[in-house]
């Protein structure tokens, strides 16, 4: 087992090291969600009112957990693109010819991508108080756990796709067709309630819906508005995202092991 | 057990096409063994099968006593691999590349640090160990890759076209390392090349073409197959001269494109005789002591094709770009 653990550690360490050496990625990681939050959040809250929300409730408060979910989604899934890069630049061969099982490499990649997502989420959490969102230590800790599960499953999803992709362009295409719908249907931007029934069923099968809902469940645990914020119980959310994490990491390990 | 690699009737098909078509050979411990052949002959495919990166369609191979199908993990631990294209992480430093490799091969920390210092010294990269690989020249990268391939003390070092794209000075430098390694570590080296002069460095060479081994011997043994010296000439009337050569010297010349070729004993003495017999007929003449090129030509009926075509195309390309 030590050999496998070492392999996971190496793959993780490499991804994290490389991340910190690329300044544009760090700037993008912080900048993108901030843009969404400040521009879209403020713009939307000026014109929209949440269905059934009492007066004085800020739409921004509703969006904030959604934006964290969005950041984790994008960062996690896109971090798997490094597999496509590594294939193109040859490093993947070095890993494949090493005496380590392929599944360990896939797990290492999943942990690496999740770590970077978690860094981003942490920065966003630190911004929260400045937007008038109250966070307690318990909230932050529970959020971390939930966010890690979400990040892990989404990075695995990215790995499943990247294992089959030969080119950057192909990966980008698939990602756009997959990631954007996942995001829009997740309830990150607008709630599930009050939409057309066909859309509601789509939103119900989007696993990310439960991720975003779990984040809100934790955020608004003590809030009087909890009822209008969340759709499911925290237990349901946790069950779905944990299931998603397990299924996706197994599929990721399988796809990566059988990649050409 | 003296054979470190044994290959029997190896076949690899890619959608019906046999890239490797029934190859068998052995490599003994401590040998420098070369696969020589044009691009697409099946050299790299065979090497990838031995390195467990590809599964053979049929046949079997044993490396260091381990079956490549039954125990791929064990085989991978026993080999070092240097691929044709660089497989370094260019955004990491030389040292980090070595360290990651060491961890993947499960080398304990203290031993790893010692070996890193040793291999970096051997390939003369100690001073650049903390530079990003991105800043390295082609030769430096190749040296670092060889160092990395050795750090886990493999039994066999695979080198796929180890000196392609390198300048002649670096090429001969890398060959010095290879010979040194064999002497010091008793390492077995298995390489592929399509450079004839490079193949001369091997103890034994397998000439491979269309997925099959067409000859396997020492460089000297292979050259002995060609027979004597080779005279190549461009003449005005190939057919007439060919008949004349047959009649006068009972030598059968072969036609190759523009030229006539014939094998004789002492070429340097025969050329003056030829010229005086055929005044005004010979436009160009040259003498070749047998080389591996000739062996290849004789065995397959052509030159190592890509070399010829590529260099012409490259020359053209360069001119166009300027």
Average pLDDT over residues B91-95: 94
Q: What is the pLDDT of residues B53-70, one digit of tens each?
A: 889 999 999 999 999 999
If asked whether residues B150 and B257 sit together in one domain, one would say no
* Region label for A90, one of left (φ > 0), alpha (ψ between -120 and 50) or beta (otherwise): left
B307, pLDDT greater than 60: no
- Show which of residues 19-58 on chain A sit within 8 Å of chain B, judged by CB atoms: 21-22
Domain-located, residue B305? no
If asked whether residues B61 and B210 sit together in one domain, one would say yes
Looking at A121-130, A194-203, B15-24, B259-268, which range is the least confident one?
Answer: B259-268
Domain-located, residue B309? no
Q: What is the pLDDT of residues B32-43, one digit of tens each?
A: 999 988 888 888
Question: How many other C-beta atoms lie within 10 A of the C-beta of residue A177?
Answer: 10
- What is the residue-wise DSSP string for A118-156? HHHHHHHHHHGGGGT----HHHHHHHHHHHHHHHHHHHH
Please report the pLDDT score of residue A52 as a whole number. 63
Reported as a pLDDT band with limits 50, 70 and 90, residue A198 is confident
Q: Are residues B104 and A98, on separate chains, in Cβ contact within 8 Å?
A: yes
Please report the pLDDT score of residue A150 as a whole number. 95
DSSP state of B240: H
Looking at A16-25, A57-66, A210-219, which range is the least confident one?
Answer: A57-66
Q: What is the pLDDT of residues A18-30, one digit of tens each?
A: 999 888 888 888 8
Domain-located, residue B209? yes
Long-range pairs, B211-220, Cβ under 8 A, ≥24: B211/B12, B211/B18, B211/B19, B211/B20, B211/B21, B211/B22, B211/B23, B211/B41, B211/B42, B211/B45, B212/B21, B212/B22, B212/B23, B212/B42, B213/B23, B213/B24, B213/B25, B214/B299, B214/B300, B215/B295, B215/B299, B216/B25, B219/B292
Round to whole Å and give the CA distance between A116 and A19.
8
- Domain boundary, last residue among B202, B219, B236: B219
With beta carbons less than 8 A apart as the criterion, state whether B260 and B246 touch: no
- Domain boundary, last residue among B219, B240, B275: B219
Please report the pLDDT score of residue B315 as a whole number. 42
Residues of the domain holding B235: 228-289
Round to whole Å and give the CA distance between B34 and B43.
10
Please report the pLDDT score of residue A1 as a whole number. 59
Reported as a pLDDT band with limits 50, 70 and 90, residue B319 is very low
- Domain boundary, last residue among B196, B219, B242: B219
- Show which of residues 130-149 on chain B sit within 8 Å of chain A, judged by CB atoms: 148
If asked whether residues B177 and B241 sit together in one domain, one would say no
If asked whether residues B243 and B100 sit together in one domain, one would say no
Reported as a pLDDT band with limits 50, 70 and 90, residue B314 is very low
Q: What percent of chain A has pLDDT over 70?
A: 94
Domain-located, residue B311? no
Q: Would you give the distance in Å from CA B169 to the centre of its chain?
A: 17
Helix H or strand E encompassing A76: helix A59-79
Domain-located, residue B307? no
Q: What is the ipTM of this complex?
A: 0.83
B322, pLDDT greater than 50: no
Domain-located, residue B265? yes
The total number of residues written for chain B in this structure: 322
Reported as a pLDDT band with limits 50, 70 and 90, residue A57 is low
Please report the pLDDT score of residue B317 as a whole number. 38
Average pLDDT, chain B: 84
Reported as a pLDDT band with limits 50, 70 and 90, residue B303 is low
Q: Are residues A14 and B100, on separate chains, in Cβ contact within 8 Å?
A: yes
Q: Domain of B240: which CATH number?
A: 3.30.70.80
Q: Where do the H-state alpha helices sit in chain B? A: 43-50, 72-78, 94-104, 109-122, 138-150, 168-185, 196-199, 219-226, 238-249, 267-277, 292-300, 305-321
Domain-located, residue B147? yes
If asked whether residues B42 and B185 sit together in one domain, one would say yes
Sheet arrangement for strand B79-82: B79-82, B156-160, B188-193, B32-36, B204-209, B212-217
Average pLDDT over residues B185-193: 87
If asked whether residues B87 and B177 sit together in one domain, one would say yes
Please report the pLDDT score of residue B275 as a whole number. 84
Please report the pLDDT score of residue B162 as a whole number. 81
Round to whole Å and give the CA distance between A231 and A211.
11
If asked whether residues B136 and B253 sit together in one domain, one would say no
If asked whether residues B195 and B235 sit together in one domain, one would say no
Query: Into how many domains does chain B fold?
Result: 2
Q: In chain B, which residue's Cα lies nearest the Cα of A20? A: B91
More reliable by pLDDT, B249 or A157: A157
If asked whether residues B273 and B208 sit together in one domain, one would say no
Q: Domain of B200: which CATH number?
A: 3.40.50.300
DSSP state of B29: T
Average pLDDT, chain A: 86
Average pLDDT over residues A174-194: 83
Please report the pLDDT score of residue A70 as a whole number. 87
Round to whole Å and give the CA distance between B300 and B303.
8
If asked whether residues B47 and B121 sit together in one domain, one would say yes
Please report the pLDDT score of residue A49 as a whole number. 65
Reported as a pLDDT band with limits 50, 70 and 90, residue A210 is very high
Task: List Cβ neighbours of A88 (8 Å cut-off, separation of 6 or more).
Answer: A167, A168
Task: List Cβ neighbours of A126 (8 Å cut-off, separation of 6 or more).
Answer: none
DSSP state of B145: H
Domain borders along chain A are 2-257
A260, pLDDT greater than 60: yes
Tell me if residue A189 falls in helix, strand or coil.
coil
Q: What is the pLDDT of residues B226-280, one digit of tens each?
A: 777 878 888 888 888 888 888 888 778 888 777 888 887 777 888 888 888 877 7
Domain-located, residue B8? yes
Please report the pLDDT score of residue B316 as a whole number. 41
Q: Are strands B188-193 and B212-217 parallel, antiparallel or unpaired?
A: unpaired
**A17 reaches B (C-beta below 8 A):** yes
Which candidate in A87, A91, A104 is best for mutational testing of the B interface (most B CBs within 10 A)? A91
**B249 reaches A (C-beta below 8 A):** no
Q: Are residues B104 and A101, on separate chains, in Cβ contact within 8 Å?
A: no
Measuring CA to CA, which residue among B89, B137, B142 is closest to residue A17?
Answer: B89
**A1 reaches B (C-beta below 8 A):** no
């Amino acid at each position: 087992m030590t050999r496998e653990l070492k392999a996971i550690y190496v793959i993780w360490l490499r991804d994290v090291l490389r991340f910190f050496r690329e300044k544009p990625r760090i700037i993008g990681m912080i900048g993108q969600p901030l843009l969404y939050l400040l521009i879209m959040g403020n713009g939307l809250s000026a014109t929209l009112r949440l269905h059934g929300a009492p007066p004085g409730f800020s739409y921004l408060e509703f969006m904030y957990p959604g934006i964290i979910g969005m950041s984790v989604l994008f960062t996690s899934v896109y971090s798997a693109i490094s597999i496509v890069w590594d294939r193109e630049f040859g490093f993947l061969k070095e890993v494949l010819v090493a005496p380590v099982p392929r599944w360990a490499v896939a797990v290492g990649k999943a942990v690496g991508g999740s770590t970077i997502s978690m860094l981003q989420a942490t920065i966003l959490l630190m911004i929260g108080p400045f937007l008038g969102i109250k966070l307690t230590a318990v909230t932050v800790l529970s959020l971390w756990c939930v966010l890690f599960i979400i990040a892990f499953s989404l990075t695995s999803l990215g790995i499943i796709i990247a294992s089959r992709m030969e080119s950057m362009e192909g990966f980008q295409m698939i990602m756009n067709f997959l990631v954007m719908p996942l995001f829009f249907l997740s309830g990150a931007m607008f709630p599930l309630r009050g939409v057309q029934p066909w859309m509601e069923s789509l939103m119900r099968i989007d696993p990310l819906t439960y991720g975003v809902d779990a984040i809100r469940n934790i955020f608004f645990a003590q809030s009087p508005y909890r009822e209008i914020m969340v759709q499911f119980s925290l237990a349901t959310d946790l069950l779905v995202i944990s299931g998603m994490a397990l299924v996706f990491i197994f599929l990721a390990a399988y796809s990566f092991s059988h990649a050409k | 057990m003296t054979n470190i690699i044994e290959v029997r009737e190896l076949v690899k098909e890619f959608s019906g096409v046999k890239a490797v078509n029934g190859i068998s050979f052995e490599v003994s411990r401590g040998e420098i063994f070369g696969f020589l052949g044009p691009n697409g002959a099946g050299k790299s495919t065979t090497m990838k099968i031995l390195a467990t990166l590809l599964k053979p369609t049929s046949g079997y191979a044993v490396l260091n006593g381990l079956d490549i199908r039954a125990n791929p993990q064990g085989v991978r631990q026993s080999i070092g691999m240097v691929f044709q294209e660089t497989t370094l992480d260019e955004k990491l430093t030389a040292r980090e590349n070595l360290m990651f490799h060491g961890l993947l091969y499960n080398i304990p920390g203290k031993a790893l640090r010692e070996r890193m210092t040793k291999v970096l010294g051997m390939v003369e990269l100690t001073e650049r160990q903390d530079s990003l690989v991105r800043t390295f020249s082609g030769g430096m990268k190749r040296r670092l890759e060889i160092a990395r391939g050795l750090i886990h003390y493999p039994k066999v070092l695979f080198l796929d076209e180890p000196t392609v794209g390198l300048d002649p000075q670096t090429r001969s430098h890398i060959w010095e390392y290879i010979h040194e390694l064999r002497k010091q570590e008793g390492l077995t080296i298995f390489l592929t090349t399509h450079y004839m002069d490079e193949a001369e460095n091997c103890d034994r060479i397998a000439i491979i073409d269309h997925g099959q081994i067409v000859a396997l011997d020492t460089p000297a043994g292979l050259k002995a197959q060609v027979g004597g010296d080779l005279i190549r000439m461009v003449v005005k009337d190939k057919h007439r001269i060919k008949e004349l050569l047959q009649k006068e010297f009972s030598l059968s010349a072969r036609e190759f494109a523009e030229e006539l070729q014939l094998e004789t004993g002492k070429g340097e003495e025969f050329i003056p005789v030829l010229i005086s017999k055929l005044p005004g007929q010979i436009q160009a003449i040259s003498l070749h002591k047998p080389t591996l090129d000739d062996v290849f030509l004789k065995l397959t009926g052509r030159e190592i094709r890509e070399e010829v075509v590529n260099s012409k195309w490259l020359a053209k390309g360069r001119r166009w770009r300027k």
